[in-house]
Amino acid sequence: MRAAWAATLLPVLPADSASVADLGCGTGSLSVLLAQAGHEVRGVDLSPRMVAAAWAKANAAGVSAAFVQGDASRPPYAPASCDVVLARHVLWALPDPAAALKIWVDLLRPGGLLVLVEGRWSTGAGLTAAECRALVLDVRREADVTRLDDPALWGRPIDDERYLLVSRS
């Protein structure tokens, strides 16, 4: 799975070291992956147990990354302090995704990159790619969607809608 995520995410990120905010970082899997690729990663998650797991994962991998407990919809980072804002399976769960996106976009430096991994689950929860794209286009000029149906990403075949949305401007 790790190799599949690296092959999916690393080509869309800046080639040089970038400042990445991993919002709703969970146990830090993507944070560690990006830190190993040379990016400066800061993660935030609401759960103190997830933040502790992220710190442990980064330490075990021998990478530098910083994690804090906080609300992903209002991350504790200054405006224009990130080159990349990344969120995986977070936007759909927020009470006001549109408001969160406005805040997230404000975190980006000029030319910054918004990277979202989202889905519409077989349970009916989540956001369709069209819904997510429309939300992003309310705050950005571009929103490119790529379907993520490779079983290597998920550890099994999937039958729901999962996608990567990348907005460069």
Q: How many CA atoms lie within 13 A of 70 on its CB side?
A: 15
Strand, coil or helix: what is 142?
coil
pTM for the whole structure = 0.96
What CA–CA distance (Å, rounded) separates 72 from 112? 18
In a domain, 23, yes or no: no
Tens-level pLDDT at each residue, the chain (169 residues): 999 999 999 999 998 999 999 999 999 999 999 999 999 999 999 999 999 999 999 999 999 999 999 999 999 999 999 999 999 999 999 999 999 999 999 999 999 999 999 999 989 999 999 999 999 999 999 999 999 999 999 999 999 999 999 999 8
Does 80 fall in a domain?
no
Q: Is residue 43 in a domain?
A: yes
The boundaries of the domain holding residue 41 are: 28-70
Decide if 96 contacts 125 (C-beta within 8 A).
no
Domain assignment of residue 98, yes or no: yes
Whether 134 maps to a domain, the answer reads yes
Is residue 139, in this structure, part of any structural domain at all? yes
7 lies in some domain:
no
Same domain, 59 and 98: no
